[in-house]
Structure 1
Amino acid sequence: MCIRDRLGGYRLRAAAAEPRRDLAAVAAVGGRFVCPGDREWPSQLDDLGDARPVGLWVRGRPDLRLWSLRSVAVVGARACTPYGAHMAATLGSGLAERGWVVVSGAAFGVDGAAHRGALAAGGATTAVLACGVDVPYPRGHAELLGRMAQQGLVVAELPPSAHPTRSRFILRNRVIAALTRGTVVVEAEYRSGSLVTARQAQRLGRFSMGVPGPATSGLSAGVHELLRGEGVLVTDADDIVELVGDIGDLPPVRRGPVLPRDHLDAATARVLEAFPYHGATHPRDLARTAGTSADETLGRLYELHSLGFVEREGDAWRLTPPSARNDDARRGDT
């Protein structure tokens, strides 16, 4: 399409616009129009340059600018798996519990699960729509959108009564990417609007993150491709906050369960490791293998006996059979 034809189309759309009608319509549902220069305008949207929205239609009491300062987008497949829905809800609730606003597109699947997770945790969530803020789309999320209009924010670039089209979803995605500090993709195929959002976030200097899934799942293929590039692998809210948060927002140390044998001192642990898996052995053989003296080995053996790890058999010692150990020693089995 040439520039002349495109300008002609813009003139026709401008001639059909009725700003007073739109303002009255958004006011009727308790909304407002926010544009650049307003106190409530999120300045990070200016990073879009010429693609910056002319303004945003907003429903909900919270301040859009303030809520967007600490926000993360959680997006993904509409036809997600139970795993994807679980992870989206878990991330949504985890981020909300840590004081972050969860932003998504209110679609079926991952979007809806992320919104519900945030709401279930009593947290904050923002829906960015590809239609008017007064249009319940998808219809199956009418109740969810109503809750967000009461407890959170519903935002759209399009005026009231506007209905979604394929191209409008793509336009909506750039707003999600620019509005937040980072975008997390939970599940996505190779050709997915969620990946468009994540890559837009990368271009804007935001964090792009992905939740890994089964290598055999087509719904994780797009996420894995993102992770092979500049995307960062995340598995929970702590991982996300470490990336997008302030200095000092570090995740807890990752480690497996603490076992009783972890509390043994080094010499006692060496004596225990010196035991053969089957059969009895003499203390002098244990001392030679563990590199300890005979007297020290004997003392360590009685410590291990009191903890239920070993038992005496004449002059020899053997590992206590797992079925005969006490609960603490059984938990120490490897």
Structure 2
Amino acid sequence: MEPSDLPGLALVQVLGPQEALSLIQSSDSSNARVEQLVTEVLNEAGTERWTGLAEVLTRWRPRLADVAPERDLATLARLHGQLLVPEDHSWPTALEDLQLGAPLALWCRGDHALIPEQEKCIAVVGSRDNTSYGANVSMEIASSLVQRDFTVISGGAYGIDAHAHRGALSSSLGATGAPLLSPRHPSGGRAPGQGDDGYDSPDGAPPTIAVMAGGVDRFYPSGNEDLLRTIAERGLVIAEVPPGTNPTRYRFLQRNRLIAALCSVTVVVEARWRSGALNTAHHAESLSRLVGAVPGSVYSANSAGCHRLLKEGSAVCVTDAADVAELAGGMGQHLAVEPHVDPALHDGLGTSDLLLLDALPLRTATTIEKLCVVAGLSAATVLAGLGRLEALGLAERLAGGWKRTSRK
């Protein structure tokens, strides 16, 4: 069944995976009791009226010939991967927020056995046809987030996704100045701690995770094969569909819900008015996750989607990793440091004092009467104001009257 096939997921919830498969493999055209239970589950999930068990069985049964779990598990073992199911202790609990739409399993390829907790995962997504501005921003944000011990999650696609992955990988390596590709061991094998292609195996959480729309045995798109292979060696590549599954438009859209669910914050760097990245943002919003959007030029079509999110109030404006980390943190955590700005001369002055300060000449002294005319204030107000300005070091009294204090 396809990802997020709600009748199928409801059937598994009612019968369990083994009995659900047995029912599909049987010759039964329907089952009234099972159909009633599935209907109740779908109603609780708020799903629209479905066509019934008989119809979905005829939709699933033609695919039985392609069901080969032993083959899929053998392929995963060859790739040094593992299969995660909800009963595993390492199953990401954040996916439970998808409720009935949660995946049945996750096929994982990589050296890292655990997907970090939701609080430590940030999604960085955007357009495939990015600008140089978007590329630089996504790489800088991803790199800085990894330095702050976050894991960057994206979809492995061209454009912003790829730059986010590269930024995360470069930060995890750049801390020691190590090259992306480590040299082979002199014996021709791997040096201790190196992955299958000579990469150093990092400790702790993966710097980045790619969530695929197809099987983890096929790196798609092919132009990102080297990048995805590096992610599998340095981080983690996951999918909810078994090996050998081709990516389709529907699977891409359903994949976006996993990215949103796994992360505490989804950051959209660049997106057109209609973009798959907005689909991820909408999934995040529906799951009560925070969404950040990077503003761009008002003349750039690649930022129209980000501006749309900001205009509709669906996203918070973010400009760097500090802003994103502050969104991801709890109360008082990861607070961005405000830049230090020297106070201006007029800071804290009232309206009358500002008028008086503007009326004071810089070079020659002037009288109280002239100040009253220029500032448009009464004599009493001018005298009181001059006293305050003198105390602040902004005005000085001379023989011929008053002038503004000279600043060296």
Residue 171 of structure 1 deviates from its aligned partner by: 1.2
Distance in 2, Cα, partners of 1:260 & 1:32: 61
Residue 11 and residue 253 in structure 1: after superposition, are their counterparts in 2 closer, same or farther (change >3 A)?
same
Distance 1:239 1:33, change over 3 A: same
Partner in structure 1 of residue 318 of structure 2: 234
Query: Are 2:394 and 2:404, in contact at CA under 8 Å, matched by a contact in 1?
Result: no
* 1:222 alignment partner, one of 305, 316, 337: 305
| Corresponding residue for residue 204 of structure 1 | 287
AA paired with 2:342?
Answer: V
Where 1:121 maps in the other structure, the secondary structure is: helix
Q: What does residue 330 of structure 2 align with?
A: 246
Structure 2: gaps (5+ residues): 1-49, 173-205, 372-381
Work out which of the residue numbers 252, 265, 276 in structure 2 matches 1:169. 252
Contact 1:274 1:290 in 2 (8 A): no
Report the count of equivalent residues: 307
State whether structure 2 residue 30 is matched by structure 1 residue 18. Answer: no
1:177-220 alpha-carbon deviations (Å, 9 max, x no partner): 11111211111122211111111111112112211112222222
CA distance 1:168–1:289, change in 2 (3 Å):
farther
For 1:208 and 1:36, the matched residues in 2 are separated by 26
User: What is the Cα deviation at residue 25 of structure 1?
Assistant: 0.5
Relative distance call for 1:9 and 1:250 in structure 2 (3 A) is same
**Which SS does the other structure have where 2:254 is aligned?**
helix
The match for 2:228 is 145
Q: Deviations over 1:109-151 (max 9, x none)?
A: 1101111111111171111011111212111211111211111
How well do the aligned residues superpose, as a CA RMSD in angstroms? 3.4
- For the residue of structure 2 that corresponds to 1:205, the secondary structure is coil
Question: Which residue, 44, 49, 52 being the options, matches 2:99?
Answer: 49
Contact 1:64/1:153 (8 A) holds in 2: no
Q: Which has more radius of gyration?
A: 2
CA distance in 1, matches of 2:286, 2:348: 52
What amino acid is the match of 1:7?
L
Deviation at 1:167, TM superposition (A): 0.9
Partner letter of residue 307 of structure 2? H
| Aligned residue identity for 1:138 | P
Instruction: Answer yes or no: is 1:89 the counterpart of 2:150.
Output: no
- 8 Å contact kept, 2:80–2:110: yes
Which residue of 2 is the match for residue 306 of structure 1?
none
Rounded Cα–Cα distance in structure 1 between residues aligned with 2:86 and 2:229: 27
C-alpha deviation, 1:224, in angstroms? 1.6
Give the letter aligned to residue 224 of structure 2: H
CA displacement at 1:277 relative to structure 2: 9.9
Q: What is the 5 A alignment of 1:254-293? A: 254-255=338-339, 257-258=341-342, 274=357, 280-282=363-365, 291-292=385-386
Q: Aligned equivalents of 1:301 and 1:232: distance in 2?
A: 44
Correspondence for 1:79: 129
Give the deviation of 1:253 after TM superposition.
4.2
What is the Cα deviation at residue 56 of structure 1? 0.6
Secondary structure of 2:91's match? coil
What amino acid maps onto 2:91 in structure 1?
W
Unaligned runs of 5+ residues in structure 1 are: 303-314, 330-334
Task: Give the deviation of 1:300 after TM superposition.
Answer: 7.1
TM-score between both structures, scaled by the size of structure 1 = 0.79
Name the structure 2 match of 1:34.
84
Identity of matched residues, %: 42
Give the Cα–Cα distance (whole angstroms) in 2 for the partners of residues 125 and 196 of structure 1: 21
The answer to whether the 8 Å contact 2:323/2:336 transfers is: no
Does structure 1 residue 194 correspond to structure 2 residue 277?
yes
Deviation, structure 1 residue 70: 1.2
State the secondary structure of the residue aligned to 1:202.
helix
CA deviation digits over 1:222-280, x for unaligned, max 9? 22222223222222222222222122214334346437969x999xxx99x94779872
CA contact (8 A) 1:67 1:101 kept: no
C-alpha contact (below 8 Å) 1:275/1:281 kept by paired residues: no
Shift, 1:291, TM fit: 3.9
Deviations 1:292-319 (A, max 9, x none): 46xx68x8789xxxxxxxxxxxx99899
Equivalents in 1 of 2:171, 2:164: separation in Å?
11
Aligned-partner Cα distance in 1 for 2:255–2:286 = 16
Mapped to 2, the partners of 1:117 and 1:178 lie a distance apart of 22
Structure 2 distance, partners of 1:71, 1:168, is: 22
1-side partners of 2:127 and 2:366: how far apart?
62
User: What are the Cα deviations for residues 157-189 of structure 1, in whole angstroms up to 9, with x where unaligned?
Assistant: 121122211111011111111111121111112
CA contact (8 A) 1:277 1:319 kept: no
